[in-house]
């Protein structure tokens, strides 16, 4: 398997000090195709919009793509084993735990998009919560469909062009969009990096 390559993302405007980086060659094209085949078997449906408090609604003016949800600790353990050495052991004082086992596979066809938004926090019943997004890209060869970071104040836009098997890791609180897909079909998978409920105590 080709070595994983890390590349920092230069974010726009007010977000320039926040965490964002990419990892290339995390999965092989064959592994990515297996994810696509598996989720197509499971079936895709309209992607809902998370509006907080555990409530999701259909809002096609904001997002109009489809998704397949697959809860798999086995698959997230494999993904985590490949990326964890590139992830900080703590963030904002909270200890890193691993990945959210809920994989949200996303499918975009021409004319589909996810307008500018911030990713929501996923919180478990025990208080563990997500702070960082992990996005895995399963294919390429389409037109449009970049993940684009946006600074509304300056109009700056920084595009990440998907590559098969690449992972994009970034803080939830960075404005971004799934840009309009113009041609082809795009597949990706979103999950979250989870953190402990309590901050790490520093001995004094």
Q: Quickly list H helices, the chain.
A: 29-42, 73-83
Residues 57 and 65: their CA atoms lie apart, in Å, by 13
The candidate with the shortest Cα–Cα distance to 70, out of 82, 62, 78, is 78
Residue 127 buriedness (CB in 10 A; 0-12 / 13-18 / 19+):
exposed
pLDDT of amino acid 204: 55
pLDDT of amino acid 202: 63
| DSSP H or E run through 115 | strand 114-117
Backbone angles phi, psi at 193, to 5 degrees: -90, 125
- Angle (CA) 85-89-92 rounded to 5° is 140
Q: Are 81 and 157 in contact (CB under 8 A)?
A: no
pLDDT of amino acid 203: 55
| Residue spans of the chain under pLDDT 50 | none
pLDDT of amino acid 61: 85
What domains lie within the chain, and their CATH numbers?
5-15+24-48+62-88+102-160+167-192 (2.60.120.620)
């Amino acid at each position: 398997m080709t070595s994983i390559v890390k590349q920092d993302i230069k974010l726009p405007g007010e977000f320039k000090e926040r965490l964002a980086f990419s990892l290339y060659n995390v999965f092989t094209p064959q592994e990515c195709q297996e994810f696509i085949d598996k989720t197509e078997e499971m079936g895709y449906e309209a992607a809902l919009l998370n509006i907080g408090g555990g409530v999701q609604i259909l809002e096609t003016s904001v997002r109009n793509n489809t998704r397949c949800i697959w809860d798999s600790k086995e698959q997230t353990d494999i993904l985590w084993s490949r990326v964890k050495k590139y992830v900080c052991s703590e963030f904002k004082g909270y200890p890193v735990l691993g990945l959210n086992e809920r994989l949200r596979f996303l499918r975009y066809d021409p004319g589909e998009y996810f307008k500018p938004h911030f990713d929501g926090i996923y919180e478990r019943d025990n208080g563990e919560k997500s702070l960082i997004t992990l996005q895995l890209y399963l294919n390429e060869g389409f037109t449009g469909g970049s993940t684009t970071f946006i600074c509304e104040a300056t109009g700056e836009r920084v595009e990440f062009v998907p590559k098969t098997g690449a992972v994009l890791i970034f803080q939830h609180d960075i404005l971004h969009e799934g840009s309009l897909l113009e041609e082809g079909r795009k597949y990706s998978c979103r999950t979250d990096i989870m953190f402990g409920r309590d901050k790490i105590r520093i001995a004094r």
